[in-house]
Amino acid sequence: MNRFVKEVFDAHELIRQWLGDAHSPQAICDALLARFDAEYSMVTLTGHRLDYAALCAFFTAQHGAKSGLEIQIEQPVVIAESESSAVVTYQERQQLPGQTATLRYSTVVFSADGQGKILWRHLHETAAG
């Protein structure tokens, strides 16, 4: 599996654990937040912009807020890739127990630092109708 695509799956597993289980340890959140660049930016489903500080505040406040959350990543496509960056699109399906699944289309820009660590630099999410 492409290393940037693998990062999409790995990060979403941490997100699922952190948001979906109030008993998940702080180490899950720490590992998750370490994946994001300090200059991270995001356009949310509602069109709002988040920076790294806002992302950290969101995850800190939302520990266990979506009990039983399931996340499926579907149809990942590498749009562009170099040794130190990539653009990847994917579909993300989220479902809470007893509720209808929601679908979003996402495009992420990755950068890799000097040691090859992959960092989330920008994410744009769009809700599927």
Question: Tens digits of per-residue pLDDT, 34-43?
Answer: 999 999 999 9
pLDDT the model gives residue 114: 87
Neighbours of 111 (CB within 10 A): 16
* Max Cα–Cα distance, the chain, nearest Å: 45
**pLDDT at residue 126 tops 90:** yes
Map tokens 């990847």 to a residue: 88
Q: What would the mean pLDDT of 37-55 be, rounded to a whole number? A: 96
CA distance 57 to 122: 17
**pLDDT at residue 129 tops 90:** no
Q: Which two tokens stand for residue 26?
A: 């702080």
Q: What would the mean pLDDT of 63-84 be, rounded to a whole number? A: 97
Contact 36, 119 (CB under 8 A): yes
Q: What would the mean pLDDT of 73-100 be, rounded to a whole number? A: 97
Domains, in order of start, for the chain: 3-127 (3.10.450.50)
Q: What would the mean pLDDT of 65-80 be, rounded to a whole number? A: 98
